[in-house]
Amino acid sequence: MDGDCLFCRIARGETDTRFLLETDTLVAFRDIHPHAPVHLLIVPKRHIRSINDLTDADRGVLADLMMSARDLAKTEGVDQSGYKLLFNVERGGGQVIFHLHLHLMGGWNR
Ligand SMILES: [Zn+2]
């Protein structure tokens, strides 16, 4: 845990962010600066900086992120019209908050 990390604070429930999903390992909520009609962030509760910092012990967390994305796409109604799943990795890859998160974006043509 990193006390100053925004996503750690959100995952601990220290902000007024409304969760669309919360499990033992992750939370999901809407991006406050959406780049698509549906733009969710799926965030592991444990602080992991980026994809580069994943270890073998994180395989389960990574699977949880992807399976939750599948479920959220369905509840958001974009599973059939289509969506993107995206990890930005480090600054050159567009990562802005250095706590691993999966973007789910869709809803352009429903
Ligand atoms: Zn964090």
- pLDDT (0 to 100) of residue 43: 98
- pLDDT (0 to 100) of residue 3: 65
Which of the residues are catalytic?
A: 101
| Ligand 1 mean position, distance from CA 108 (Å) | 30
What is the full per-residue pLDDT of the chain (110 aa) written as tens digits? 566 899 999 999 999 999 999 999 999 999 999 999 999 999 999 999 999 999 999 999 999 999 999 999 999 999 999 999 999 999 999 999 999 999 999 999 86
| Ligand 1 mean position, distance from CA 10 (Å) | 9
- pLDDT (0 to 100) of residue 1: 53
Cβ-based neighbours of 44, under 8 Å, separated by 6 or more:
11, 25, 26, 61, 64, 65, 100
| Ligand 1 mean position, distance from CA 91 (Å) | 16
